[in-house]
Amino acid sequence: MKIAIVPVTPFQQNCALLWQEGQDTCTVIDPGGDVAHIQAEAARLGLAIAQIVLTHGHLDHAGGADELREALGIPIIGPDIRDRPLLDNLAAQGRSFGIPNLRNVVPDRWLTEGATVEMAGVSFAVLHCPGHTPGSVVFVDHPGRFAIVGDVLFRGSVGRTDFPYGDGKALIDAIITKLLPLGDDVRFICGHGPGSTIGDERRQNPFLAVPAP
């Protein structure tokens, strides 16, 4: 599986393109904006975008999804329906941050814990990991020892919870009970900044004081 990170919006969100080597289609994860830039990068790689997958409903992750769906006629998958209020308010979120042309969006498919999503020829398991937003989801390729965690977990940090709908306890609980048990060797990409491994975060992340099993 191949991955290309395309930073988008003033928040430098890690929009990601996933594809299988030798194939000419890809999945785009969290197209928060700068849609023309995302399309240009896919074209540069010789890829046609086949679907859009969202980890959660914040503007920098979902704000360009509807524009991209309209341009390409492709489906939007995720997040959990508990992020519906955020997705219904994307345009207003954008205006409040001085980012024009963001659109509200309703996915073609909502996700729940235990579902799977096919990306780049791989079946990713869906984990509901609330706290940063109520409907945040994480995607896990168990055989490939790889995860896409959105803004749930970062290298050296965790997602913000200082929103009216944030829940710091729920976030830490989700990380400890759902992400850490995936195994220390699991690599992940996140919504901002560099990726990491579950083991490095279990050992070094100051928000996760968890001993080795």
Q: Residue 30: CB partners within 8 Å, gap ≥ 6?
A: 13, 14, 15, 16, 53, 54, 55, 60, 61, 62, 150, 191
Numbers of helices and strands, H then E, in the chain: 7, 13
> If you average pLDDT over residues 25-47, what whole number do you get?
97
Q: Hey, what domains does the chain have and what are their CATH numbers?
A: 2-204 (3.60.15.10)
The per-residue pLDDT for 210 is 55
Convert the pLDDT of each residue in 173-194 to its tens digit: 999 999 999 999 999 999 999 9
Q: How does the average pLDDT of the chain come out, rounded?
A: 95
The per-residue pLDDT for 142 is 98
The conformation of residue 109, written as its DSSP 8-state character, comes to B
Confidence of residue 7 (pLDDT cuts 50, 70, 90): very high
